[in-house]
Amino acid sequence: MNALIPIRQHLIGQAQVQTVNARELHAFLEVGKDFSTWIKDRIAQYEFIEGCDYLLTEIGERLPSGTKYRKEYYIALDMAKE
């Protein structure tokens, strides 16, 4: 049995909201599409709004060739249910 996805608290808009990391949810659900396509499709299909339904951050990873940035989506539990 797979471990459950950790729930975190993030400030989205003006409220503290329980969230999950969308990458972790994607891996847990074993979705066939790559992550970036999957999350962008979900956002468009359900008309989710950044700062209301999810928090988008960029994380930089230093590599010898330069810094590589990765987008992380922290999504509210209601969004995760869709």
Residue 2 clears pLDDT 70, i.e. is over it: no
* Inside any domain, residue 1: no
Mean pLDDT of the chain: 92
Residue 1 clears pLDDT 90, i.e. is over it: no
pLDDT tens profile 23-44: 999 999 999 999 999 999 999 9
In 3D space, the residue among 71, 44, 70 whose CA is nearest the CA of residue 55 turns out to be: 71
pTM for this entry: 0.86
Report residue 60: phi and psi, to 5°.
Answer: -95, 135
Number of domains in the chain: 1
* Inside any domain, residue 3: no
* Inside any domain, residue 20: yes
User: With 0-12 CB in 10 A as exposed, 13-18 as middle and 19+ as buried, what is 19?
Assistant: buried
pLDDT at 62: 86
Range of the domain at 40: 8-81
* Inside any domain, residue 48: yes
Query: 16: pLDDT confidence band, cut at 50, 70 and 90?
Result: very high
Q: For residue 42, how far is the Cα from the chain centroid?
A: 11
